[in-house]
Amino acid sequence: MKKLITLAVITLLVACKSETKENNSSTAKNETKQEVSKLSNSSANYSSLFDTYTCDMDVAELAKVLQIPASDITAQTSKSPNECLFKIKGFGEGHDNTGTTLRLMSVPSSKGQSKKEIANLLKDKAELPSGILMGRDIVLADAGDCYIASQPKRGKVRILNENYDSFIVVTYQTKASVQGRTEEQHDELNLKSKDLANYLVTKHKKQ
């Protein structure tokens, strides 16, 4: 009798786990479909971000967005007007004890490539296990008509929109390339870089 009860309990647990897994998979696919439908044919104007971006962010503004002291940020000189360069302390010492290099810039691409990239990332998010994704993610920006794609292993966050021939990238270096950076610091910087991406989308959105 005890064996029968034990067997029944095990069977019930297995069934519940299977159902939970199916529900999670279904939820992920539904969220992906909703994200796809929201982006198509965006009417917002992001030309100042994707077409003619020039570095328009100073230390005080960046400190406010990243929620770190302005004293921990130093602006760097870039040879390109469409690139912002900063040195940030508090996320590893770096090879020369100056901290992390945070780079923000516009990268030439194409509408077709951006559309393909968005579709592939959404497909991976819906279908692949988290272990294979290794932290890669794609979400809609708060503004609702751009995507934010993150690749923590590469220390990179991108802003994608299929209506423009370029994308915006924020890089904060890989964990291995910054001496003294912990896993926790790397995760925190990934989140802050996504906050920065969201901020840029909102800042440059024009109806």
Burial class (CB in 10 A: 0-12, 13-18, 19+), 50: buried
Residue 178: pLDDT band by 50, 70, 90 thresholds? Answer: very high
Task: Note the Cα 190 to chain centre separation in Å.
Answer: 7
pLDDT of 98? 85
pLDDT at 183: 96
pLDDT tens across 70-80, in order? 999 999 998 88
Please tell me whether the overall predicted TM-score, pTM, comes out greater than 0.85 for this model: no
Dihedral class, residue 181 (left if φ above 0, else alpha if ψ from -120 to 50, else beta): beta
For the CA atoms of 68, 203, 35, 167, what is the dihedral angle to 10 degrees?
-90
What's the mean pLDDT when you consider all of the chain?
84
CA distances to 37, 81, 97, 105, 142 from 85, in Å: 35, 11, 17, 9, 25
Question: What's the mean pLDDT in 154-170?
Answer: 97
pLDDT at 129: 86
Q: For residues 13-33, b (16+ Cβ closer than 10 Å) or e, as one string?
A: eeeeeeeeeeeeeeeeeeebe
